[in-house]
Amino acid sequence: MSFHFFILGNLPLAEGFGINTNIFETNIINLAAVVAIVISFVGKNLSALLEDRRKTILNNLQEASQRAAEAQERLNVAKSQLELAKKKATEIREEGVLRATQEINNCVSQHEERLSKLDEFKQETVQFYQQKAFKQAYMYVISRIMSRVKERLNKGLDATYHVVVNNFYVSRFTEYNP
């Protein structure tokens, strides 16, 4: 669509009103008029819209920047918590190893103590049975000797000599300490 305006300035004053038949000039004039009308009516609204758009974009950028800063802060907090957790895990692991080592050493020392007590008990038991066997053997030998002595004394001795020999041997046996 093209708008044709009558321009009074192009007509000579003496000639009067008329129509400009030059299409190129008419189109340029019409375009200039349309641009002037658009700028005068739409320009204020367009600049207000552009200004609102600029403010919205600036607000969005500020909010995005603020959210990025908050996210970075949360990331830093999370990283510090991660490092703290790693440190705590390392401490717990080291403490666990230390306690396990102490428990192993404790068990080993208790086992060695029990073994030494068992060895002592074994030695005492062996010694007890050795003493018991020695005592039984001693008693057997003594009883056999006594019975032979009585037998010999009964066979070839008279009553007075028999008493003297018995007293001699009894006194020797009473002096004997095993």
Mean pLDDT by 10 residues, the chain (178 residues): 45 54 80 82 78 93 95 95 95 93 94 94 94 92 86 69 79 78
Number of domains the chain is built from: 1
Range of the structural domain that residue 120 is part of:
23-175
Within-domain flag for 17 = no
Considering Cα of 29, then 31, then 34, then 38, what sign does the dihedral take? negative
Burial of residue 165 (number of CB atoms within 10 Å: 0-12, 13-18, 19+): middle
Report pLDDT for 3. 43
Q: Are 17 and 6 in contact (CB under 8 A)?
A: yes
Within-domain flag for 119 = yes
pTM metric for this prediction: 0.40
Within-domain flag for 148 = yes
Please identify which residue in the block is written with the tokens 């950028």: 61
Report pLDDT for 7. 45
Please provide residue 6's backbone torsions phi and psi, each rounded to the nearest 5 degrees: -90, 125
Please identify which residue in the block is written with the tokens 């070839």: 156
